[in-house]
Amino acid sequence: MYTPNTKVIDIGKRPIEDYVFEAVISFQEGVDEIILKGRGDFISRAVDVYWALKDRLGDSIELSNIEIGSERVRGRMRSYIAIHVKRKY
Amino acid sequence: MYTPNTKVIDIGKRPIEDYVFEAVISFQEGVDEIILKGRGDFISRAVDVYWALKDRLGDSIELSNIEIGSERVRGRMRSYIAIHVKRKY
């Protein structure tokens, strides 16, 4: 669910640590759920970001859902992943 | 669960159609569940294989689980995805 307290972080080619930092700050600011979204070649990177974030925050977060989807971009299908991470406390 | 009737297909750099073909044949041979496993850069590819397989087999298969993990390979951590696909009928 995309509640007001959900933040979507689009994973691209910036360093993994940038996305981890963005997620940590968002949780500190009161966001309850973060969705790490990676498309095409960035799917692998979204998974890497998840593990780097898990290393950083440990048991204070949990993986609540993983979706894989496919969407049409300029006439061709492109796969994506959406990794839902919740703050536990 | 990795039952005797589960087949793991490791996704690598062969054409996507090869993996789809392997999965279709396995289901025809009586396999109930296929796990598409992609490591590192092949994570995106595993998702692409899933969608190509879904296009081919439609409602006769269902996505039963998606795991993302991280394992140590030659001293460094490498992420993976395991997409579990079940035959419905």
> Per the confidence metrics, is the pTM higher than 0.80?
yes
Residue A87 CB coordination number (10 Å): 18
Option in A51, A68, A83 nearest B47 (CB): A68
Average pLDDT over residues B26-46: 95
Option in B43, B70, B77 nearest A43 (CB): B43
A1 pLDDT above the threshold of 60: no
Confidence of residue A75 (pLDDT cuts 50, 70, 90): confident
Question: What's the pLDDT score for residue A67?
Answer: 94
Contact A83 B63 (CB under 8 A): no
ipTM, 2 decimals? 0.77
Rg of the Cα atoms in chain A: 13
Annotation: CATH topology of A6-87: Translation Initiation Factor IF3 (3.30.110)
A69: its two tokens: 């989807």
Average pLDDT over residues B70-80: 86
B15, with CB counted inside 10 A (0-12, 13-18, 19+), is exposed
Question: What's the pLDDT score for residue B71?
Answer: 85
A3 pLDDT above the threshold of 70: no
- Comparison of pLDDT for B57 and B73, the residue scoring more: B57
The predicted-structure confidence for B55-69, as pLDDT tens digits, reads as follows 999 999 999 999 999
Q: Which of residues 25-84 of A touch B (CB under 8 A)?
A: 38, 40-44, 47-48, 50-51, 63, 66-68, 70, 77, 79-81, 83
State the Cα torsion A70-B48-A47-B11 to the nearest 10°: 160
The predicted-structure confidence for A47-59, as pLDDT tens digits, reads as follows 999 999 999 999 9
Interatomic CA distance for residues A50 and A7, integer angstroms: 14
Question: What's the pLDDT score for residue A37?
Answer: 96
CB A68 within 8 A of CB A44: no
Q: What are phi and psi of B88, to 5 degrees?
A: -90, -35
The amino acid at residue A77 is: M
CA torsion through residues A68, B35, B77, B70, sign: positive
A16: its two tokens: 């993994």
Interatomic CA distance for residues A9 and A7, integer angstroms: 6
Going from N- to C-terminal start, the domains of chain A cover 6-87
